[in-house]
Structures are given as structure tokens and as C-alpha cells.
Amino acid sequence: MDLPIQEQVVYEHPVALLDVSTHYCPGCTHGVAHRLVAEVIDEMNLQSKTIGVASVGCSGFIYNYFDVDFVVAAHGRAPAMATGIKRCLPDRFVFTYQGDGDLASIGMAEIVHAATRGENISVIFMNNANYGMTGGQMAPTTLPGQKTTSSQTGRDVEQQGFPIRVSEMLAKLDGASYVVRRSLHDPKNIRQAKKAIRIAFETQLRGLGFSMVELLSVCPTNWNLTPVDSMKWLEDHMVPYYPLGDYKVHPAVAEMRI
């Protein structure tokens, strides 16, 4: 007699992520990052105490996808808004989710000072080397020579300067506790990104101060590449310029046991 087949669920949709279709383009790694954040929120049982701060850019509509409280900041100001929330409600879990135009250009002052104050918030920083929402213009993170809709013959560093390596820069600040760069271009790196998000969130939960995970991401639509080719382009061009690694791990963070 055949026994009924028994199955275990290897992977299912995280609870903190709403079961809805996103507005992101096919293959966009915002979806991957959202999922990782939701998985970590589930694992740490943070959903009921989480307040997210959305920024301006493609991820500005992140509040539609999470089953947690959200506010939407002005362009670049998410770390300031998160500071206001966290100072009023210190026992809540507060994270910002920002793109590279938002964080590394218009919001540079806010992110630097949130980090140097050791503000007890967590930042998910999506670096896809262009302004996605407005149609693929040059961002502070656009690579030298990279063609965008506002650097149409390629970013000319003579005229437009060099990209900013945000993680390396913030790591220099005494107030920052956990600053790392990961990539979302393949399953192995995605797994490592999730571990980093977990450490970042634990850093806040234990009151250890500012944490940021920079995630190298793709923008297939504006890069004019297929999703699969985008992942390859990220690996071949972005990873060499933006090396993956741990740029700041405060000893107290390093000692954490998760």
C-alpha cells in the first residue's frame, strides 16, 4: 500500500510581507530586499513593534507591501524622520529603506549625521547606480563611463566627478556600529545579505546604535538589460567598484550571539 507523501515546506511567503503584487519592474531586486527584510522581521518576531520609514524613489511605495506601520519621508530625509520617531518611541524597531539617489545625494547630510550620532536605527541602502524612478538618470553611485539618461555618453568624471562609496565613508564615523556592503546578484550573495540584515536589526534591538546594510542592486529597465543579464552586469561591473565586505563592525556587534 502506498503511504501518503509527506512534505515539508522549504520556503514560503514571509508573514510581514503582504501577499500582493508589487509595482516594481520584472527582475528588480527591490523585491528581493523587501523579502529579506520581511523574513528577518518574521524570524526576530519584530512585526508588531516595527515602524518603517520609506524614502523617495521606486521604494517610496514600500508601505504598500509590509504589514507594519510606515511613514513616508521627504527625499533624503528618512534618517532624520527615523530619528524623530526613535527618540519618541525608543522601544520600537525603526528602519529606513532608501535608494542611492535618496541616501547618497540629496540625503547625504542626514545619513552622515544619523550615523555619527550613533542613532539607534537600521538603514537598508539600495545601490543600483542610477535614479530608477525618474527614469535612469546619473546617481552619485553611477560608475565612471556608465551611460544613463543624464550622462548619455557615459559618466565623465572630469565633469561629473566620481561615484561615492557610502559604506566606506560612513565606516569612518565613530558613531556607526555596523556598516556592511552585500550584493543581491545571486542566491549565495542573497543569503549573505540576509545574514547582514539580521545583524543590523539585532544591533538596533540591543541598543548598539547605527547600522546600515548597503545592497548592490539591479535596475534592468533603466540599464536596458534583461533581469538575468543585469545580475551579470552587477557582478562584473559594480562588485569590483563597490567591494563587498564588512566596513565597520563595532566590537560589541562582533560579540553578539544570534
Partner 1 sequence: MARQLMKGNEAVAEAAVRAGLHAYFGYPITPQTELLEYLSRRMPELGRAFVQAESEVAAINMVYGAACTGSRVMTSSSSPGFSLMMEGVSYMAATEIPVVMINVMRGGPGLGNISPSQADYNQSVHGGGHGDYRQIVLTPGSVQESVDLTVLAFDLAEKYRINTVILSDGSIGQMMEPCELPEMQPLRGVSTEPWAITATMGQREHRMLSSIYLKVSDEEKTNIRILNRWRQIEANEVRFKEYYLDDADFAIIGFGSAGRVALTAVRQARAEGIKVGLLRPITVAPFPVQQVAELSKRVQGILVTEMNGGQMLDDVLRIVKGNCPVEFFARLGGVVPFPDEILSEIHRIAKGPLSVDVDPRSAWLDRMAAIVN
Partner 2 sequence: MPPKGRIEVKEIICKGCGLCVDACPQHVIILAEDRINAKGYHPAELSLDGCTGCGICAIICPEAAITVYRQVAPAKENQ
User: Are the C-beta atoms of 164 and 104 separated by less than 8 Å?
Assistant: yes
- Which 136-165 positions form the footprint of partner 2 (CB under 8 A)? none
Taking the least distance from each CB to partner 1, the nearer of 80 and 193 is: 80
Taking the least distance from each CB to partner 2, the nearer of 179 and 216 is: 216
Taking the least distance from each CB to partner 1, the nearer of 80 and 215 is: 80
**Cα–Cα distance for residue pair 148/162, rounded to 1 Å:** 15
227 binds partner 2 (CB under 8 A): yes
70 binds, among partner 2, partner 1, none (CB under 5 to 8 A by kind): partner 1
Taking the least distance from each CB to partner 2, the nearer of 13 and 206 is: 13
**Residue in 22, 42, 44, 113 binding partner 1, rule: CB under 8 A:** 113
How far lies 181's CA from each of 98, 118, 121, 138, 256, in Å? Answer: 14, 18, 17, 21, 19
Residue 113 beta carbon to partner 1: minimum distance, rounded to whole angstroms:
4
In 3-state terms, what secondary structure has residue 50?
Answer: strand
Strands 245-249 and 176-183: antiparallel
31 binds, among partner 2, partner 1, none (CB under 5 to 8 A by kind): partner 2
Size of the site for partner 2 (CB under 8 A): 37
CA atoms within a 13 Å half-sphere pointing along the CA-CB vector of 133: 16
- H-state helical runs in 70-217: 78-88, 100-101, 108-116, 157-160, 166-171, 187-205
CA atoms within a 13 Å half-sphere pointing along the CA-CB vector of 64: 10
**Residue in 25, 31, 43, 47 binding partner 1, rule: CB under 8 A:** 47
37 binds partner 1 (CB under 8 A): no
- 31: DSSP letter: H
- Give me the DSSP letters along 131-145: BTTTTSB--TTPPTT
Axis-axis angle for helices 30-43, 187-205 (nearest 10)? 50
Residue 188 beta carbon to partner 2: minimum distance, rounded to whole angstroms:
9
**Among 19-27, 98-106, 171-179, 206-214, which window interacts with partner 2 (CB under 8 A)?**
19-27
Taking the least distance from each CB to partner 2, the nearer of 32 and 68 is: 32
What is the binding site for partner 1 (CB under 8 A)? 47-51, 53-54, 60, 63, 66-74, 77, 80-85, 87-89, 92-93, 109-110, 112-113, 117
What is the binding site for partner 2 (CB under 8 A)? 3, 5-14, 17, 19-22, 24-32, 34-35, 38, 186-187, 190-191, 220, 226-228, 231
